[in-house]
Amino acid sequence: MMMELSAYRDIFIEELNEQLERIDQSLLALEHAPTAELIQTIFRAAHTIKGSASTMGFREMSDLTHEVEYALEWVREKKPEITGILIDTLFRALDAMKLLRSQYVSGGEFTDCSAVVAEIKALINKPAEAQPVRLPVLDAAERLQAEEAVAAGYSLLALVVTLREDCQMKAARHYILLQRIEEVCGPVIATALAPSPAPGADEDVRYSQFAVVAASPREIRQVSEQLAGETDVESIVITPFVPEPAAGTDIQTTSVPVLTESSSSTPGKGKSHEVQSTVRVSVERLDHLMNLVGELLIEQTSLADLSTAGQRNDPAKVLPDIGSISDHMGGIIKELQEGVMKTRMLPMDQLFNRFPRLVRDLAQKLGKDIELQIQGGETELDRMIIEELSDPLIHLIRNSADHGIESPEVRVQQGKAPKGRITLTSFHEENQVVIRLEDDGQGIDAARITASALSKGIITEEQAGYLTAQEAVSLIFEPGFSTASEVSEVSGRGVGMDIVRSQIGRLNGIIDIQTEPGAGTLFTIRLPLTLAIIKGLLVNVSGRVLILPMYNVAEIVRISPEEIQVVQGEQAIINHGRIVPLSWLRDKLHYPRTERRSKTIPLVIVRSVDRIAAFAVDEIIGNQEVVIKSLGAYLGTMNHLSGATILGNGRVALILDASYLVSH
């Protein structure tokens, strides 16, 4: 039976991803505008997951979605107010489902979702009073303490303690239990209390349930046994604790309960399930490709007939017909190429739909009111680029929310609306996709950027003297740069920005910044439609044909040797009033020098992300579309090359990595 079910695993995972995404989007919409239709949509998605998970023997997922389904049925029947507590609880259940999905794919031990189930049941039984405690969010110092404890061989444990309702002086009992936990477990790293059920309520109620993160050399069972029977304690739930994931990982709220490993056996557990990468293609596109292949077969038959006729008669008579067929085949191949490329394309919605939840959680954590507006989600981009683009956009959004958007109080003082706005837009422009991320926050202060860069030794006093405002702002992309006076848990303006730049550069993209202090910041990312086929500029260097991607070519110029200047000991040229570093491509690639026959020097001005450089070549050949082929692992690390292609004459031409050349 398991062999039969394994054949459907990929289909199940694909459907599971779709339904989880549907629940995520519907919960976000439900929070802003509750409707019976949205509740029904979430209910149907949970019911679908429950059925398919049960069929696949995925009992952990089936049991959890059954409880979610029951909660939604209660909402449909009782029609309670859709509160933030209800939405948060459903989001935590969703995050637990995502965690189970990841473990199912990786073949790891499944988690026991009893904590989430208990939270759902408590909410249904006491909707107005149930305010479950959230696990602590570690700040920078606490995270460092946790890392040191783990390095010393300790385990991180999360303890959720619930006191008896008849417990007197809950606050005092809370402090006594903290000391007891430290005696049994080890160092207490962080604690969190339950929120007050209502304004003005007795603060002692907050201590009725609290969470503790501790580092312990003991196993959960040992800790549980030693803490059993404590006075005034209703229950103590002990689970492994995992700090909030770093930026760029799968999006989860910090309030996701950390769950204990289940000892139940599930078919297939412990085995990694390798999920095949798939793309959905419309039947119309496949039919179009089939029609084009049919036309190619017809033209192939025509060429075969002409070949036979040429052998029987004068070959010169069939040359015009061969030329006509060749032109027609060229058009078909071009259309076939575009059709195949479109099958790799996905709408940007596949990526953008992940971010409303991220912004919601960030706004809650930061105590801000932030709205995310998305435009151009129908814009299509290569699937591989979309997958690699997630991390850079998460970095940018987190920085905009944390250090771009001001608090509601500050915004009102500055005459702005209390709700901040982040706008994410995508559209096609020529052969590129443009993505814009804009916030209406406080902007970036160029003077502050320059001062911070000086203090960290990123630039010298001399360099600071001739920096323009735009060049100063671009310093946020330098490794280790930050203007934050203290490390923020979410981000720091500039923290991780060097990662953003390098990742965009690896995608052969460019990122620009426009900012106005007090008005906001705009990041513009330009990316090629695909990395499989590019338009390349062919150049001759020491008798070798090399290719530079056209989307990295800013300009092609010719200069006389007298125009070359020396700036700080390095060769450079003045281009549109800007100093541009100059390198001879033959020297950079360690090719032998050849005799220069022309009086002028052809230069290719190459741009990558926020940097620009000029490269001298022997000859500009022209541009053409090329198919990128991998060089293979047997050549070792070749950082200056991104691949190779085969030219029309059958020769191999190397494709240069413009990002590496400019930065080195």
Catalytic residues: 47, 69, 399
| Residues 222, 227, 229: CA angle, nearest 5 degrees | 125
Mapped onto helix, strand or coil, the DSSP state of residue 455 is helix
| Residues 198, 199, 200: CA angle, nearest 5 degrees | 110
Instruction: Tell me the C-alpha distance between 353 and 281, whole Å.
Output: 20
Side-chain-facing half-sphere of 52: CA atoms under 13 Å: 20
Instruction: Tell me the C-alpha distance between 490 and 310, whole Å.
Output: 73
Instruction: Tell me the C-alpha distance between 240 and 566, whole Å.
Output: 61
Put residue 376 in one of left, alpha, beta given phi > 0 → left and psi -120 to 50 → alpha. left
In degrees and rounded to multiples of 5, residue 445 shows phi and psi of -90, 110
Q: In 353-482, which residue ranges form alpha helices assigned H by DSSP? A: 355-366, 383-399, 408-413, 446-455, 461-465, 469-473
Structure tokens, 285? 């596109």
Structure tokens, 560? 């006389």
Instruction: Tell me the C-alpha distance between 231 and 254, whole Å.
Output: 30
Residue (of 457, 416, 402, 440) closest to 516 by Cα position: 440
Q: Are the CB atoms for 547 and 538 separated by under 8 Å?
A: yes
Question: Which one-letter amino acid corresponds to residue 595?
Answer: E
Instruction: Tell me the C-alpha distance between 172 and 165, whole Å.
Output: 14
Q: Which residues of 281-319 are buried (b: 16+ CB within 10 A; e: fewer)?
A: eeeeeeebbeebeebeeeeeebbeebeeebeeeeeeebe
Q: How many residues does the chain have?
A: 664
Residue (of 532, 531, 524) closest to 507 by Cα position: 531
Residues 6+ apart with CB under 8 A from 307: none
